[in-house]
Amino acid sequence: MYDVIILGSGPAGLTAALYTARAGKKTLIIGGDKLGGQTAGIAVLENYPGWKGTGMELTHFMKDQATSFGTEFAFASAKSVVGDGEHGFTISADDGKEYKSKVVIIATGASPRKLTIEGARELFGKGVSYCATCDGFFYNDRSVLVIGGGNSALNDALYLADLAKSVKIVYRGSAFTRAEQVLIDRVKSKNNVECIFNTELKSILQNPETQELIAKTMDNKELVCDGVFVAIGHEANTDFLSEDIKRDDMGRLAPADLPPGMFVAGDVHSNIKMQIATAVGTGCEAAIEAIGYINTRL
């Protein structure tokens, strides 16, 4: 049995593992299908203090730190968590194994919210994408749309602007009120980026002859492009938890609502900003609380 099992291998989970393993607690990260979560896909990371590089580079640095104190890794995803802080927890994973621990830290992060309009599901992977850094290179010298108006959307647009011939940001609001000013200024400075405000899409179709996408707006205008990148927010990855675990409307968890022996960190934590710095902070907090919880039961 492990002392601590951490679900998720993003900054929150890696930070929690660093603290628990360094405290001498036998620690396992069940890290999902890839190391680092969303952070691993950040091409230019410039708002995490003390770091200048890619998200993947930071992820590997944090993993090496955690590993140096004995953290173990299993790259699988949790299917269920049963048990309690009194008798221990059992995590069933999609690798067919069961893992047992005294406490569990939920740091499974969040996934991009899916576009639900007509054609979005059918064209996923065929022109509709939720990851600019993953798929942007397919659109070199082509035209793309970015749907959304927050930091993620503007970062995607800036990344794509260096690859694509033209980028149109389509946003339902009248201004980028949720994005940082530095990103807004950078978007404005790009000659190949156009911002289309007060606009929502109602469908995405594909021209069978040219393979171009036709994005139709609510006022029946058509935006023709080669690709559509969606950045309209995130939902917490908590579907594997039982129904008795209280969640908000985004699937996130509040520490006060969790049963004894279960802790939460990172983007799955309710009422925090989705930033690497806050993920690290909550990872530290969850680890310290988990260590204390175990120590009181020795």
The string of pLDDT tens digits covering residues 123-136 is: 999 999 999 988 99
- The answer to whether 134 is a known catalytic residue is yes
Domain around 289: 2-111+234-295
Q: How far apart are CA 11 and CA 7, in angstroms?
A: 12
Extract long-range pairs of 82-87: CB within 8 Å, 24+ residues apart: 82/242, 84/259, 84/260, 84/261, 85/259, 85/260, 85/261, 85/262, 85/293, 86/260, 86/261
Residue 118 forms part of a structural domain: no
Beta strand pairing status for 27-30 and 2-7?
parallel
Q: Are residues 207 and 159 in the same domain?
A: yes
Q: Are residues 206 and 239 in the same domain?
A: no
Q: Are 115 and 200 in contact (CB under 8 A)?
A: no
- The answer to whether 284 is a known catalytic residue is no
Q: Are residues 198 and 212 in the same domain?
A: yes
Over residues 115-144, mean pLDDT? 95
**What phi and psi values does residue 130 have, to the nearest 5 degrees?**
-115, 10
Q: How many structural domains comprise the chain? A: 2
Of the CA atoms within 13 Å of residue 85, those in its CB half-sphere come to 19
Check pLDDT > 80 for residue 298.
no
Residue 119 forms part of a structural domain: no
Q: Are residues 12 and 89 in the same domain?
A: yes
Residue 268 forms part of a structural domain: yes
Residue 153 forms part of a structural domain: yes
Residue 242 forms part of a structural domain: yes
Q: Are 228 and 129 in contact (CB under 8 A)?
A: yes
Residue 114 confidence (pLDDT): 93
Q: Are residues 190 and 277 in the same domain?
A: no
Q: Are residues 55 and 139 in the same domain?
A: no
**What phi and psi values does residue 15 have, to the nearest 5 degrees?**
-65, -45
Residue 44 confidence (pLDDT): 85
Q: Are residues 59 and 202 in the same domain?
A: no
Active-site annotation holder among 84, 134, 162, 257: 134
Which position has the token pair 């260590």? 291
Tell me which of 230, 256, 280 is where a domain ends: 230
Residue range 46-70, pLDDT digits in tens: 899 999 899 999 999 999 999 999 9
Residue 297 confidence (pLDDT): 86
Give the residue with greater pLDDT, 17 vs 37: 17
Residue range 186-224, pLDDT digits in tens: 999 999 999 999 999 999 999 999 999 999 999 999 999
- The answer to whether 257 is a known catalytic residue is no
Task: Please give the distance of CA 2 from its chain centroid, rounded to a whole number.
Answer: 26
Q: Are residues 222 and 241 in the same domain?
A: no
Give the residue with greater pLDDT, 42 vs 173: 173
Q: Are residues 93 and 241 in the same domain?
A: yes
Residue 57 forms part of a structural domain: yes
CATH label of the domain that carries residue 212: 3.50.50.60
Residue among 155, 195, 192, 190 nearest 175 (CA)? 195
Residue 60 forms part of a structural domain: yes
Residue 249 forms part of a structural domain: yes
Q: Are residues 172 and 29 in the same domain?
A: no
What's this model's pTM, rounded to 2 decimal places? 0.84
Residue 282 confidence (pLDDT): 97
Q: Are residues 12 and 107 in the same domain?
A: yes
**Range list of H helices, the chain:** 11-22, 55-68, 132-135, 151-161, 181-189, 276-295
* SS3 (DSSP) at 106: strand
Over residues 258-275, mean pLDDT? 94
Q: Are residues 181 and 223 in the same domain?
A: yes
Tell me which of 206, 230, 254 is where a domain ends: 230
Q: What percent of the chain has pLDDT over 90?
A: 91
Residue range 218-241, pLDDT digits in tens: 999 999 999 999 999 889 999 999
Q: Are 294 and 102 in contact (CB under 8 A)?
A: yes
